[in-house]
Amino acid sequence: MQFYFICVLMKRFLPVIIIPLFVSCSASRHFNPNKKFAKEALQQDYTLLRNILEEKHPSLYWYTSKDSMDIYFQKGYQAITDSMTELQFGWNVVAPLLSTIHCGHTSFLMSKDWNKFIKNRQIPSFPLRLKVWDDSMMVIQNLNTKDSSIKRGDFVTGINGLKNPEIIQALFKNMVEDGYSSNVNYSRLTTSFPYFHRNTFGLYQSYFVNFTDSNGIEKRTLIPFYAPVEDSVKLQIKEQKKAHQRVSRVKRLAMIRSVQFDSTSALIAINSFSKSHLRPFLNQTFRAVRKKKIENIILDLRFNGGGDINNSVLLTKFIRNNSFKVADSAYSMAKNFAPFSSHISNGFINNLGLLFVSKRKKDGNYHFGFWENHTFKPRQRNHFNGKTYVLIGGPTFSASSLFCNAVKGQENVILAGEETGGGWYGNSGILIPNITLPNTKLRVRLPFFKLVQFNHVEVKGTGVPPDVFIGTNWRDILKGVDTKVRVVKEMISNDYKKEVTQ
């Protein structure tokens, strides 16, 4: 696909719509990303979405009052003034609406056809990948490899006249989070800054970037947008496919969960509680920890976005010293998805399952009794009684935040790193099907149960805080050093030296 033809069509510094960058016939015989949906069709999709959220979302008014949500719903409807593409509708209307709910599980996805179209395809974007934290933006990579005006390690202070706080605030308005725990969104920006910047601000032919270089000198430069060359993109896709084919099942699982031993500790990384065959891995790992007489565990959950609560509970059993529950309360507002079942993924099956797992109580809500009532006991075999350092951060979310709450405060457990993105008070989830809007086919994730954590804190809106804060060290990033692992290993080493000298 040729991208450079856009330059002829664009006026310098004029934002352009993303969709015309694609030539649909080269990607699919049936899907046209440039297609615009009539105003009436968009309004129909939006009204359906509002009705489903108001009737089925368990925590629509958890952080935002009904009066305020009504205003946000009306504002979104009024934003539909003309026909729009799928992308425009998603990012200009749906995303800003969902961010006002402050539920990290209520996000939107592009249609399945869109995802098929965009798979293995690079598109023009803002050219810098950035490490973002607080109000800081450090250049990790300049996608325009031949451009030497701004380099890795330079600090961006503004883009196109907007300062960093203004940029971050605008980007956050299209992003979701649990309560007000924004750490997860800083991580998302670090992973995909060009993606979020393009879809929020649009694409520019060139960008004025203010920055400070490695010597602390303030500079300003004009850099072009990143336009992948077709041949290089095809070559990269080909190499990616070859690499994927070479990766065995064992190696793919190792990317999700792994363990490394040294003389003083075991570093256990668990990046997901889903699709990881975690039970045999944990059994084997904690057996090895016992046999090797390891006294310190570094449990890395920084990139664990959650998944199966049962796996979170299993991990808790190996670490926690006494019995525990998962939830003080777990309930939905409705007994099933009717009358919207046809718009919900696996609607019939989910409705059938809900008959057996939830029961209406005097408060009028449908409670998931198992998670409210069941008491779990610690594992006796291979239970770990040494010191556990749990690495946490913004992507520590959902079921992994349940684990953090369960072990926080235990004498031999230290949470280290940054505040989790998952809510400390609780979150919405357990069952999270997709709503598919009938016209645009946009999808919106719909958590069905509200879960309030066992022995929850009184204040809503924060993530689980660390016991030892370990923030970003930009010098370590440039050196390729994992700051949090380094600091924790130093803590272990210092404790070991104290024991030896005593």
252: helix, strand or coil = helix
Q: Cβ(273)–Cβ(399) under 8 Å?
A: yes
Beta strands in 143-217 (DSSP E): 155-159, 162-163, 206-212
Reply yes or no on whether the pLDDT at 243 is more than 80: no
Q: Cβ(394)–Cβ(418) under 8 Å?
A: yes
C-alpha triplet 16, 18, 20: angle, nearest 5°: 90
Structure tokens at 356: 């057996």
Q: Which helix (H) or strand (E) holds 275?
A: none
Reply yes or no on whether the pLDDT at 12 is more than 90: no
| pLDDT tens digits, 76-114 | 999 999 999 999 999 999 999 999 999 999 999 999 999
C-alpha triplet 34, 35, 38: angle, nearest 5°: 140
Beta strands in 59-146 (DSSP E): 84-85, 108-109, 128-133, 136-142
pLDDT of residue 26: 43
Beta strands in 314-401 (DSSP E): 327-332, 358-360, 366-368, 387-392
For 369, residues 6+ apart whose C-beta sits below 8 A from its C-beta are 357, 358, 359
C-alpha triplet 202, 205, 206: angle, nearest 5°: 105
| pLDDT tens digits, 134-157 | 999 999 999 999 999 999 999 999
For 213, residues 6+ apart whose C-beta sits below 8 A from its C-beta are 151, 154, 219
Instruction: Kindly report the average pLDDT of the chain as a whole number.
Output: 89
Rounded to whole angstroms, the Cα distance separating 258 from 281 reads 8
Global pTM value = 0.88
